[in-house]
Structure 1
Amino acid sequence: MAVVEVRDLVKRFDGGRVPAIDRVSLAAAAGEYLVLLGPSGCGKTTLLRTIAGLEQPTSGDVLIGGHVVTGLPPRARQIAMVFQSYALYPHKTVLANIVFPLRAVGMAREERERKARWAAELLGLELLLDRKPRQLSGGERQRVALARALVRDPQVFLLDEPLSNLDAKLRASARDELKRFQQEVGTTTIYVTHDQAEAMGLGDRIAVLNAGQVHQAGPPVEVYDDPADTFVATFLGSPPMNLIPHDGKLVGFRPEHLLPVENVPAGEGVTMPLAVERLEYLSGDRHVYGTVSRIGERTRVVARLPATVDTAIATGETHEFAVPGARLRFFDTQSGQRSEPVRLDGG
């Protein structure tokens, strides 16, 4: 059963001609970790805020627990939201911040402190309860915000880029904590980010948005390996998918699948000479930038070679590369949508 569902949701601001959310239908199942991924301005935060009741849709419906909640205020939706800024009370201790939503609903002191200490222990905050937010690191503040949300026993957690204020190293460890936390409590979670590493690492499913529309929703490996269109293909991946025009189509392949020909079994790949223009070394990988002319017109591409591929490649040389046929993806040139394969000479 879907715990959260939006049906044909549209949201316009100030009578704008271009909607921030454009006929979106999407659902999150019980216990699912659904990530809304997309570039800045794509509508993902507006969609989250509309689910929360902080924005009212122009048309369409929001359902939580099978009930239409469109028009209801946030407090009536059984949701808890964690914001990018954490929104902690600076003059209150960690314990007082966690307890605050329980005091607001009149819960007895003994019960609210029991729940607050349970949440604090789950999130590793039990030694910080007497501190003020200014005495905490960014990761600790994020955990306090999660604990404050957890004590409300929500049906749904809504997280709006909660890691964006952390440095890269802390983001990686905080991502692990978020995943562990969600697995332990089992609450349906909808998470907004523009960071594809966060999306791939956290989500049971990813919904990729652009210009107010969902382009594809599915498990991370499916969205990455079988993108529904050229937007998803080029938004996901670092470097993104290579696209080469051929016979009225676009042929796509991931940089890690473009390999020196000697690393592809004979007869299993489509070969192409790559004129090497630049080499880049990143975290044990080599990124090889150049142009190919094997399929259609001359096109710039990038290959990502792991350390296990020790083929000698130098700038200014042309080296024969190949892509396994099973790794090729095909898209319509006009619409950008995934299309049926076409025959490529040599593979």
Structure 2
Amino acid sequence: MSVTVEVSNLIKQFDGGHVRAIDDVSLAIEEGEYLVLLGPSGCGKTTLLRTIAGLEQPTSGDVLIDGSVVNGLPPRVRKVAMVFQSYALYPHKTVLANIVFPLKPEKLPKQERESKARWAAELLGIDHLLDRKPRQLSGGERQRVALARALVRAPHVFLLDEPLSNLDAKLRASARDELKRFQQRVGTTTVYVTHDQAEAMGLGDRIAVMNHGKLRQLGHPVEVYDDPADTFVATFIGSPPMNLVPRDGTLVGFRPEHLLPAAHVSGERVEASFHVDRIEYLSGDRHVYGTVNGIGKDTRVIARLPATVTDAVTPGESHPFAVNVDKLRFFDAESGERSEPVRVDAEHG
């Protein structure tokens, strides 16, 4: 059974009120949704997850699960299951005993407990590991054991706190795929915390971007990437981040992949002289660093040129580059918030 989760005007303070880890956050998580809480270290995302779980109590505001306020209720009563970064497996117990452990307080017969554990292990492809101890497992296998231990309780909500952070880059990519397919199979509402934007973009049905305890933007991955709500989101999401060029009290933003040699940009466009300092070759792309003049005045930017753009771009020289007008985004120079488009001189290519 999948359920909805909602937080309403949630505030969580520490240190006698001097530290506000969650600052008036409101959001609703839809039934069966995979919501990712994304932000830098210390932004409040893990505190928000722990407050939903019942491991922290809100200073004010409400947590609702399936329409009922659950403030003060322990995690087991909330029917949530949390997987931590460390996995928190019992080293002296077998995989089977680790998975069975959360069922012991439910006073189920041993055979029924083990049957549920074997079902969860089979679903996650670790049924052949049930007799092993955690020290005999790889990082990816330990992660699956932690998921099986959470799944066996048939929770209404999964809460995952950076469960892939201890894996190497190659294993992390495959584990992301496994996590997404697993959640789609079971259909359980899932809240996932990460500081890794690749995980957020790859896993989330929607992404909630947080900073300094505040919710900065909530939306689908493509929406957050294409139309950031403010300069924090614009520069936190994307690698390389969005370029921001000052112009008449406004910041003009554009993604590095949209700054291209002028010959490759058709339609209504803004042209600029791009003085190239250096070039990095990464995974078939070229990251071109330099100074642009024309969109704004002498501002350092990055262009990302795909392998299909073979134009010669030489460090130490200036080249005509351009950006489609519809790829430009505008932000208030003081507040950093998204603003209405302003006129930028354009040419038709």
Secondary structure at the counterpart of residue 172 of structure 1 = helix
TM alignment of 1:196-345, pairs within 5 A: 196-265=197-266, 267-345=267-345
Contact 2:250 2:332 (C-alpha < 8 Å) held by counterparts: yes
> 1:10 is matched with which residue?
11
The one-character-per-residue Cα deviations of 1:147-181 (angstroms, maximum 9, x if unpaired) are: 00001111100000000000000100110110010
**Structure 1 position 115 matched with structure 2 position 119:** no
Q: Partners in 2 of 1:250 and 1:308 — Cα distance?
A: 30
1:49 corresponds to 2:53: no
| Partners of 1:318 and 1:324 in 2: CA distance | 20
Per-residue displacement from partner, 1:35-73 (whole Å, max 9, x unpaired)? 000000000000000111111111101011111001111
Give, in angstroms, the shift of residue 269 of structure 1: 1.3
Q: What residue identity is the alignment partner of 1:322?
A: A
Q: Does the 8 A contact of 2:3 with 2:189 survive in 1? A: no
Unaligned runs of 5+ in 1: none
Match of 2:93 in 1: 92
Answer whether contact 1:2 1:66 (CA < 8 A) is retained.
no
Deviation at residue 268 of structure 1 after TM alignment: 2.2
Deviation at 1:18, TM superposition (A): 3.7
Q: CA deviation at 1:114?
A: 1.4
Alpha-carbon shift at residue 212 of structure 1 (Å)? 0.1
User: 1:111-156, CA deviations, whole angstroms, 9 ceiling, x for partnerless residues?
Assistant: 2111111111110001100000000000000000000000111110
1:126 alignment partner in structure 2: 127
SS in 2 for 1:179: helix
- Paired letter, 2:296: G
- 4+ residue runs of structure 1 moved beyond 2 angstroms? none
Look up the SS of the partner of 2:20 in the other structure.
coil
How many residue pairs get matched? 346
**Separation in 1, partners of 2:280, 2:121:** 45
Q: CA deviation at 1:346?
A: 2.0
TM-score by length of 2: 0.98
SS of 2:149's equivalent in the other structure is helix
* Further displaced range: 308-317 or 104-113: 104-113
Deviation (angstroms), 1:2: 6.4
Decide whether the 8 Å contact of 1:2 with 1:27 is kept in 2: no
Asked if the contact 1:161–1:191 (Cα under 8 Å) also holds between the matched residues in 2, the reply is: yes
Asked if the contact 2:325/2:346 (under 8 Å) is kept, the reply is no
Counterpart CA distance in 2 for 1:296 and 1:182 is 45
Q: Does the Cα contact within 8 Å between 2:22 and 2:213 map onto a contact in 1?
A: yes
Question: SS at the partner of 1:131?
Answer: coil
Counterpart of 2:33 in structure 1 is 32
**Structure 2 unaligned blocks of 5 or more:** none
Correspondence list, 1:165-184, <5 A:
165-184=166-185
Cα pair 2:124 2:148 within 8 Å, conserved: yes
Residue aligned with 1:102, SS:
helix
TM score, norm. by length of structure 1: 0.98
